[in-house]
Amino acid sequence: MKRTRFALAALTALLISGGAFAADMNKVLRVTFNAPETGFDPAKVSDNYSNMVLENIFDPLITYDYLARPAKLIPNTIEAMPTISKDGLVYTFKLKKGIFFADDPAFGGKKRELVAEDYVYSLKRHLDPTVNSQWSFLAEGRFAGADELVAKAGKNALDYNTPIEGLKALDKYTLQITLTAPAFNYSYILAMPAFGAVAREVMEANAANTNAHPVGTGPYTLKEWKPGSKIVLEANPNYRKETFNFAPSKDAVDAGILKALKGKSVPVCGRVEVAIIEEEQPSWLAFVDKQIDVNRISQAALQEALVIDPKNPLNVKLADKYVQQGIQLQRIKDLEVTYTFFNMQDPVVGGEGKEKIALRRAIAMAFPRSETIAAIRRGQAVPVNYIVPEGVAGHNPGFKGAAEFNPAKANALLDQFGYKKGADGWRMQPNGKPLVIEYATGTSAIDKQWNEYWQKAFDSLKIKLTWKYGKWNELSKANHEGKLQMWGLAWGADYPDGENFMMLLYGKNAGDSNSAWFKNAAYDKLFEASLKLPDGSERNKLYDQMNKIAVAQQPWIFGDTRVRSWVAQPYVKGFKVHPILNANYWKFVDIQK
Amino acid sequence: MFAYVVRRIFQMIPTMFGVMLLLFILFNWVGGDPSYILAGKSLSDQMLANIRTQLGLDKSQLEQFLIFVRQVITLDFGTSWSTQQPVSSILAARVGPSVTLTGSIMFVSTTLSVLMASAVAYVRGSLTDRMVTLICTTAMSVSALVYIIAGQYWLAHKFGWFPVIGWSDSLATNFVTYLPLPVLLGVIVSLAPDLRFYRSCFVEEMNHDYVRTARAKGLSEPKIMLKHVMRNALIPVVTSIMMSLPYLLVGALLLETFFSIPGMGREVIMAVDKSDFPVIKAVTIYVALATMVFNLLADVVYKFIDPRVQLK
């Protein structure tokens, strides 16, 4: 009788605690990062690698379906997707009960349940002047009543105890977010790992070093961290009962994934080991020698790993020797645009005058984009023709915004608008002053490769080109101060909505995410109008008009979007690359050696 | 000798001050602004100002330098600007793997090169000597990167004699499994220049009159080499080793990067990339300190090797 009572008590305790620990601690998933992470405070980091760990430790309210393509939002810690008021201002979330944080001394030995107040606190942290959230641009000015609280804080810590209208816990499990302006895409933002729930007790107990003390409700906990070298995660014993139960998409791999994982409790692997391997050769060889289970094929290994069709480089297959070993290949087009911008406030390359537009257009027309895709990207990229890339809501595949490659026409255009050649053979400005353009660049080997093509383009136009060399932060600072003329950048989707890209030319973001300092009243008006609309044809029309303005004014030279190849060992079951989340497969995949 | 040592220790103070001043000027001149890294995607003026205030970059240059002086005196460099981790714990975690790697390379390379140098010096002018010189010259003309890339590809990947990458918390596992290949490659890289340098030291000593006198006295060749020549030839060897010792702390960047060894070399590069001044300061000061200490030690060791040396 006593034994039965004990068993019942233990079972009850397990249920109350929410613990549904099912991970096999003998199963270890080994992956690599090719650059060092920064830390694990969701508000303080924004690099991809730190985010990959955050995805597995913290729980945002909303997440993405593992299999659905294009990416589809699903409830995560909430019972159903939020209700959104008709005006797009008020979001209401009902949290699932019985979700618990991983154990931490800050909880005083008690199980700590996730409640609506945790999200209120976590969202407020992005507004705290002392936290310096790298995602503050997604929170500032968004929540009703928050601006006053932030203004009151000045440079000091935010007063978290003062309630605000925009972020409210209506009860223990109900969260209400009231926005200052309609935003139908805010669910996407709330699905970002940066907006996962942290516990106030843990943050306050470890205030001096929050990057090293991530405690969340996600599938894993941080077991070991050697910055820039090794990260070990272990399954969170308090993780809720969750089984793999996704509907298959049209992708061929989904049937195999369902066969391997359907009904399995997640996380499947008890341990995830991340090795930071910055060099391409060891990263690839470690995979081939089975020291690593899943890896992205580096540029250097592309020729060795893949058979690339020379007529259509995007048509690839795994090399025979790897096919025979059963290695799995998956390909994904990044949700990104790369571009080279002109500083629109610069007296030489900026401005809206016709001769200035002609100069920018000519430079765009002289740049051999197809050559750089073939040589530098090894054919593993597609040209960008629209500010919003493919796979992101608002993309228009029929829009061809990139300038045609035609150096002869480019030269004719310069001749037409008064950029005459001087006695030394180099062109001058229409006002007779020398025409010298400075291009900002890093000093790595890949930078040098790009620079050769830029040099070739400028030489073909007879425009003198000089280089401004610098580390990334130095160039970023110079650009923030409006001191650069041209620089090449990439923007990856934080969330798969067009607004995340169209904002890159919004005037109020000039010098910030709008690196071109583009200030165009018509564009800004259209952008502001688009914010009031949900994804759909009406908003797409506005996006098309904005793209036409960008094409006409040429603040950017459109670049390319990279296509990545991922490989997994044959014993890794259930692996599928996600377009937005980079590490959500960690909790799902099984290792069947 | 005691007075000499005390005097040298006092001389370290102005030297260290010079190092601090130079480092401070260099960082402020070309070090980059860390606030642009810490701000991430959000580059608002308010955010950048907040970060600069928190890092103390809004203080006057004099105030910032005085903080640096205090940090050097207390050897407490605060926390990393990049990762928020205490600098002391970062360095403590990194220095072990670096010293294990570079110390092993140095030990093996020095032992081999001293033995081989004395041997080829003994047969100087012979075909063996000329062949060794030729091989060393050829080996030195190849970049270290080539040895590392080729060694990793062939010895680890193709032949499977070693793991491609790896590091363990267990020293024994590291010595048995993960260290042999990087140490082998490190030794291959450093052996040739060491061998040539030490050979020339030995050859120079063997040309002195005292060697001829020793032979005339009828001493055996091993005795002449080990007792007389070796002792005198060791002075430049000790100098070379003592000068190298501080750099054990800095690690071997390429080997650490290619073999995923969590050493100081990678940490220093990350710190420079991210303008992480506290880490840069700490590493520079420790290396400067170690250089001065080992220089002093070298002088003291000279005295033991050759009692004729006077420390004044």
Residues B94 and B70 in one domain: no
Spell out which residues of chain A touch residue B79, defining contact as CB-CB under 8 Å. 208-209
Mean pLDDT value across residues B15-23: 94
Give the CATH number of the domain where residue B284 resides. 1.10.3720.10
Q: Is the pLDDT of residue B130 over 80?
A: yes
- In contact, A334 and A561? CB cutoff 8 Å: yes
- Of A349, A342, A253, A309, nearest to A566 by C-alpha is A253
Spell out which residues of chain A touch residue B156, defining contact as CB-CB under 8 Å. 285, 289
Two tokens, residue A202 = 């843990």
In whole angstroms, what is the distance from residue A180 CA to residue B19 CA? 54
DSSP per position, A298-362: PGGGHHHHEEE-SSSTT-EEE-HHHHHHT-EEEEEE-SEEEEEEE-TTSTTT-SSSHHHHHHHHH
Q: pLDDT band at B47, cuts 50/70/90?
A: confident
Q: Is the pLDDT of residue B269 over 90?
A: no
Put simply, the answer to whether A480 touches B43 (Cβ < 8 Å) is yes
Put simply, the answer to whether A229 touches B157 (Cβ < 8 Å) is no
Two tokens, residue B26 = 């260099």
**Residue A484 per-residue DSSP state:** -
In whole angstroms, what is the distance from residue A570 CA to residue A547 CA? 44
Q: Is the pLDDT of residue A496 over 80?
A: yes
Put simply, the answer to whether B164 touches A291 (Cβ < 8 Å) is yes
CA angle A31, A36, A38 (to 5 degrees): 115
Mean pLDDT value across residues A513-542: 96
pLDDT at A91: 96
Put simply, the answer to whether A471 touches B270 (Cβ < 8 Å) is no
- List, for residues A31-69, the tens digit of each pLDDT value: 999 888 989 999 999 899 999 999 999 999 999 999 999
In whole angstroms, what is the distance from residue A115 CA to residue B103 CA? 53
Q: How far is the alpha carbon of A534 from chain B, nearest alpha carbon, in Å?
A: 25
- List, for residues A1-41, the tens digit of each pLDDT value: 444 454 444 444 444 444 455 799 999 999 999 888 989 99
Residues B126 and B263 in one domain: yes
Put simply, the answer to whether A137 touches B260 (Cβ < 8 Å) is no
**Total domains, chain B:** 2
Put simply, the answer to whether B41 touches A513 (Cβ < 8 Å) is yes
Put simply, the answer to whether A473 touches B149 (Cβ < 8 Å) is no
Q: What rounded mean pLDDT belongs to chain A? A: 94
Alpha helix ranges (H) inside A367-496: 369-375, 407-416, 445-461, 472-480
Put simply, the answer to whether B167 touches A472 (Cβ < 8 Å) is no
Question: Rounded to an integer, what is the distance from CA A360 to the centroid of its chain?
Answer: 29
pLDDT at A87: 87
Q: pLDDT band at B270, cuts 50/70/90?
A: confident
Residues B267 and B133 in one domain: yes
- In contact, A12 and A184? CB cutoff 8 Å: no
- List, for residues B154-192, the tens digit of each pLDDT value: 999 999 999 999 999 999 999 999 999 999 999 999 999
pLDDT top residue among A418 and A155: A418
Residues B49 and B94 in one domain: no
Residues B145 and B291 in one domain: yes
Mean pLDDT value across residues B24-42: 84
In a domain, B292, yes or no: yes
Between the alpha carbon of residue A131 and those of residues A103, A213, A243, A483, the distances in Å are: 24, 15, 36, 29
Residues B195 and B60 in one domain: no
How many Cβ atoms sit within 10 Å of the Cβ of residue B95?
A: 19
**Residue B80 per-residue DSSP state:** -
Residues B98 and B213 in one domain: yes
- Of A592, A291, A294, nearest to B168 by C-alpha is A291
Alpha helix ranges (H) inside A166-239: 186-190, 200-205
In a domain, B119, yes or no: yes
Put simply, the answer to whether A291 touches B167 (Cβ < 8 Å) is no
pLDDT at A324: 96
Torsion of CA B206, B211, B216, B220, to 10 degrees: -80
Domain span including residue B270 = 90-305
Check whether the bond before A267 is cis (ω within 30° of 0).
yes
Pairing of strands A436-441, A486-492: parallel
Q: How far is the alpha carbon of B53 from chain A, nearest alpha carbon, in Å?
A: 9
φ and ψ of B74, to 5 deg? -90, -10
> Which range among A407-411, A419-423, B193-197, B298-302 shows the weakest confidence by mean pLDDT?
B298-302
Name the residue in chain A with its Cα closest to that of B78.
A208
Residues B94 and B166 in one domain: yes
Share of chain A above pLDDT 70, in %: 96
pLDDT top residue among A538 and B214: A538
Mean pLDDT value across residues A324-334: 96
In a domain, B81, yes or no: no
Could you identify the residue written with the tokens 């904002």?
A503
Alpha helix ranges (H) inside A482-590: 499-502, 521-531, 537-553
Q: Is the pLDDT of residue B307 over 80?
A: no
In a domain, B83, yes or no: no
Amino acid identity of residue A351, one-letter, is G
In whole angstroms, what is the distance from residue A309 CA to residue A325 CA? 22
Pairing of strands A572-573, A590-591: antiparallel
Pairing of strands A464-469, A486-492: unpaired
- List, for residues B96-107, the tens digit of each pLDDT value: 999 999 999 999
Q: Which of A207-211, A286-290, B4-8 has the highest mean pLDDT?
A: A286-290
Q: Is the pLDDT of residue A146 over 90?
A: yes
In a domain, B311, yes or no: no
Which one of A132, A155, A474 has the shortest CB-CB distance to B38?
A132
Residues B14 and B98 in one domain: no
In whole angstroms, what is the distance from residue A50 CA to residue A32 CA? 12
Q: How far is the alpha carbon of B292 from chain A, nearest alpha carbon, in Å?
A: 30
Name the residue in chain B with its Cα closest to that of A491.
B41
pLDDT at A167: 97
pLDDT at B24: 93
Q: Is the pLDDT of residue B54 over 90?
A: no
- In contact, A368 and A302? CB cutoff 8 Å: no
pLDDT at B230: 83
Spell out which residues of chain A touch residue B160, defining contact as CB-CB under 8 Å. 289
- List, for residues A63-90, the tens digit of each pLDDT value: 999 999 999 999 999 999 999 998 889 9
Question: Rounded to an integer, what is the distance from CA A253 to the centroid of its chain?
Answer: 24
pLDDT at A2: 46
Residues B110 and B63 in one domain: no
pLDDT at A66: 97
Residues B63 and B199 in one domain: no
**B291 CB contacts (<8 Å, ≥6 apart)?**
B243, B246
In a domain, B280, yes or no: yes
Residue in A38, A132, A483, A501 to test binding to B, most B beta-carbons within 10 Å: A132
Question: Rounded to an integer, what is the distance from CA B139 to the centroid of its chain?
Answer: 21
- In contact, A545 and A254? CB cutoff 8 Å: no
- Of A334, A92, A322, A271, nearest to A190 by C-alpha is A92
Handedness of CA A327, A328, A333, A334 (dihedral sign): negative
Residue in A31, A471, A479 to test binding to B, most B beta-carbons within 10 Å: A471
pLDDT top residue among A7 and A357: A357
> Which range among A146-150, A180-184, B86-90, B244-248 shows the weakest confidence by mean pLDDT?
B244-248
- In contact, A350 and A460? CB cutoff 8 Å: no
Question: Rounded to an integer, what is the distance from CA A345 to the centroid of its chain?
Answer: 28
- List, for residues A273-326, the tens digit of each pLDDT value: 999 998 999 999 999 999 999 999 998 899 999 999 999 999 999 999 999 999
In whole angstroms, what is the distance from residue B39 CA to residue B31 CA? 17
In a domain, B312, yes or no: no
Q: Is the pLDDT of residue A587 over 80?
A: yes
Residues B110 and B49 in one domain: no
- List, for residues A223-280, the tens digit of each pLDDT value: 999 888 899 999 999 999 999 999 999 999 999 999 999 999 999 999 999 999 989 9
CA angle B124, B126, B127 (to 5 degrees): 135
Residue in A30, A38, A158, A230 to test binding to B, most B beta-carbons within 10 Å: A38
Q: How far is the alpha carbon of B94 from chain A, nearest alpha carbon, in Å?
A: 9
Mean pLDDT value across residues A173-196: 95
Instruction: From B28, B49, B74, give the residue that closes a domain.
Output: B74
Spell out which residues of chain A touch residue B53, defining contact as CB-CB under 8 Å. 155
Share of chain A above pLDDT 90, in %: 88
Does this model's pTM top 0.90? no
In a domain, B55, yes or no: yes
In whole angstroms, what is the distance from residue B185 CA to residue B197 CA? 19
Cα-Cα end-to-end distance for chain B: 8
Q: How far is the alpha carbon of B18 from chain A, nearest alpha carbon, in Å?
A: 26
Q: How far is the alpha carbon of B310 from chain A, nearest alpha carbon, in Å?
A: 48
Share of chain B above pLDDT 70, in %: 99
pLDDT at A21: 57
Q: What rounded mean pLDDT belongs to chain B? A: 89
Q: How far is the alpha carbon of B121 from chain A, nearest alpha carbon, in Å?
A: 40
- In contact, B198 and B113? CB cutoff 8 Å: yes
Two tokens, residue B244 = 């190298």
Instruction: From B74, B104, B130, give the residue that closes a domain.
Output: B74
> The complex's ipTM?
0.84
In whole angstroms, what is the distance from residue B253 CA to residue B256 CA? 5
- List, for residues B283-301, the tens digit of each pLDDT value: 999 999 999 998 888 888 8
- Of B265, B262, B267, B268, nearest to B169 by C-alpha is B262
Name the residue in chain A with its Cα closest to that of B43.
A512
Name the residue in chain B with its Cα closest to that of A138.
B42
